[in-house]
Amino acid sequence: MHCRLSFSFWIFQVLKALESVLDETTKGDSNAEIEFTLKHKINLTNYVAYLSSCETLESLLNTFMSFANYVESLGSGTSYQISLASVSPVLENFNFSEEGNEIHLPGLPSDIYLVSVDPNITALATKTKPKRIKFLASNGKRYEYLVKGNENLNVDAGVMQFLQMAQNYLECPTRTYSVTPLGMFFL
């Protein structure tokens, strides 16, 4: 009896947490978030229902393993392309050549400004799905920026400082990038 009560208590706690995550995950304002919701909400909701109906530890473990595999498949694979329009319609339609619309690129001299944004954005296949955006600058060169949303960039800055020191000390080339916070909700 004690084992059954303990099992029920823990499954209730897990389900409560999963329902909360599901509720947050299936909210969205951007086209990409809405697309995710339309594609995955039914499956995620079904897994929560399956988990709530498990009466034995074995059925719970089997269902949870299936659920874990499904969740892992959401973030696996290679990077993929998304359109600028689906992420930022304002940026896609922005007139960079209009008087007063000069946008200077972070980390570059102030006389270099943005001319256009590549219409295809690469979403990297990592947990936080940072976006790689390519900009054409007024000097004719293309610049790539890695954009992350809602993250503490102190870790990134620390890693880049460490790699820069290792590169200088060991004379081994590493690819580093500058970390420039632009605001909480850039994308």
Looking at the structure, do residues 33 and 95 belong to the same domain, yes or no? no
Is 98 within a domain?
yes
Q: What is the pLDDT of residue 118?
A: 93
Q: What is the pLDDT of residue 42?
A: 84
Instruction: Pick the last residue of a domain from 27, 53, 76.
Output: 76
Instruction: Pick the last residue of a domain from 31, 47, 76.
Output: 76
At residue 30, does pLDDT exceed 80? Answer: no
Looking at the structure, do residues 28 and 85 belong to the same domain, yes or no? no
Mean pLDDT of 174-186: 62
Question: How many domains does the chain divide into?
Answer: 3
pLDDT in tens, 99-126: 888 888 887 898 999 999 999 998 876 6
Q: What is the pLDDT of residue 137?
A: 93
Is 186 within a domain?
no
Model confidence at 5, pLDDT cuts 50, 70, 90, reads very low
Q: Burial of 70 by CB count in 10 Å (0-12 exposed, 13-18 middle, 19+ buried)? A: middle
Q: Which domain holds residue 162?
A: 152-181
